[in-house]
Chains A and B, each alone.
Chain A
């Protein structure tokens, strides 16, 4: 009959039954991995060494890490939750990144583990092709997700470290110093990118307000190159400072920078510039009404 044939053709897959069978398969898989733990772990560590991955670590360390990765891996397969693995991946990355372990190595070892385990499954079920297929159906998505989780954890940790270091460098590189009452100096060293220029300006504006500064000397002796973007940032910084009532003097423009600025035609007419930092501070002192005299001029003549 037509209806009967149709039924036989497409037995409606009951989604719940399917998940159940997947769960059962995963359980079987996990039992297998637990049983052969020692042997598979050794095989994996051997292949890591042979592929010359994790060369920064000793063989014992590799074995120890392999053990805990293996156990976490099996646990993730069993529970289907990845939080513990994620935390472990982050913790592992934290330990191995300072030792110079690269991304390709981490991804490499996780993929190796996946292959080692897949091979052992082939070995176990090679007689029952159907079963092998179903086991792999359950295993592959979970294994890929694990590989993904570990790799992403590693990369995220690396990015976090890089961000942290960038932040540290940035803060170190833009000190705003008070040299006299109401006089600040801001020595700029290195490359100015838009982000740094912005941070620099914000820091300066805050310092102007907290120190009640009237004059700021920005020294750019340590700036190697300048383009129109950087020049415009500088002009903006000067303008913003003026809005807070502070006068800015820029010092230390090298001959090369002076030439570039004139060549590309940046308008710096609004900006007060003095040759060097000493000249800038002297000019600032003049604006503030200071007068520096040698001591003998102060002692009354007899």
Chain B
């Protein structure tokens, strides 16, 4: 199943809705990295709220997305990891080192706003002065 990727301002939001196969995950990685360039995105949010299992391949793909996006100029944050999933992950030693995480989409957006210093309110430009 293909994961929809939404563009929201300077950010890309990928919301995973169901368990993904390894191929789906790779496809998501490719699509995200390509779009970071196309939309000149400053941040990427991957929402995994709907996932109740996370295997090593999924964790590695998320880490790769974060690292690759950073190389292309965007900060990544993983949001919505369930408590049970988090617990299972640390027991398996899958800790997403070096990748930012946040509680949910709202927190993720707040985090990116701080990280990327995006100013939503634009001051008057030359054109406005007329």
Bound-state CA distance A237–B91 (Å) is 10
Contacting pair A244 B81 (CB below 8 A):
yes
Whether A132 sits at the interface, judged by CB under 8 Å, is no
Closest approach, in angstroms, between the C-beta of B50 and any C-beta of chain A?
Answer: 15
Tell me which of A25-33, A114-122, A199-207 binds B. A199-207
What residues of chain B lie closer than 8 Å to A243, measured between beta carbons?
78, 81, 85-86, 89-90, 95-96, 101
Bound-state CA distance A219–B61 (Å) is 35
Contacting pair B101 A202 (CB below 8 A):
no
Contacting pair A245 B107 (CB below 8 A):
yes
8 A Cβ contacts from B80-117 to A: 81, 83-87, 89-91, 95-96, 101-103, 107-108, 111
Residue of A205, A214, A240 contacting most chain B CB atoms (<10 Å): A240
What residues of chain B lie closer than 8 Å to A158, measured between beta carbons?
none
Contact with B along A188-229 (1 / 0, CB 8 A): 000000000010011001101100101000000000000000
| Cβ-closest chain B residue relative to A198 | B87
Contacting pair B103 A205 (CB below 8 A):
no
Whether B28 sits at the interface, judged by CB under 8 Å, is no
Bound-state CA distance A243–B78 (Å) is 8
Whether A47 sits at the interface, judged by CB under 8 Å, is no
Whether B79 sits at the interface, judged by CB under 8 Å, is yes
Whether A239 sits at the interface, judged by CB under 8 Å, is yes
Contacting pair A244 B83 (CB below 8 A):
yes
What residues of chain A lie closer than 8 Å to B96, measured between beta carbons?
243
Contacting pair A239 B90 (CB below 8 A):
yes
Closest approach, in angstroms, between the C-beta of A240 and any C-beta of chain B?
Answer: 4
Q: How many A-B residue pairs have CB under 8 A?
A: 52
Closest approach, in angstroms, between the C-beta of A229 and any C-beta of chain B?
Answer: 13
What residues of chain B lie closer than 8 Å to A208, measured between beta carbons?
83, 103
Closest approach, in angstroms, between the C-beta of A245 and any C-beta of chain B?
Answer: 4
Contacting pair A209 B83 (CB below 8 A):
yes
| Cβ-closest chain B residue relative to A236 | B90
Whether A37 sits at the interface, judged by CB under 8 Å, is no
Known contacts A212-B103, A240-B86: does B79 contact A245 (CB below 8 Å)?
yes
8 A Cβ contacts from A220-266 to B: 236-237, 239-246
Bound-state CA distance A188–B108 (Å) is 30
Contacting pair A245 B87 (CB below 8 A):
no
12 new A-B contacts, CB < 8 A, other than A208-B103, A244-B83, A245-B101, are A198-B87, A202-B84, A209-B83, A209-B103, A237-B90, A240-B83, A240-B86, A240-B87, A243-B85, A244-B86, A244-B101, A245-B103
**Interface CB pairs A-B, < 8 A, 18:** A198-B87, A202-B83, A205-B86, A208-B103, A212-B107, A214-B107, A239-B95, A240-B87, A243-B81, A243-B89, A243-B95, A243-B96, A243-B101, A244-B101, A244-B103, A245-B79, A245-B103, A245-B108
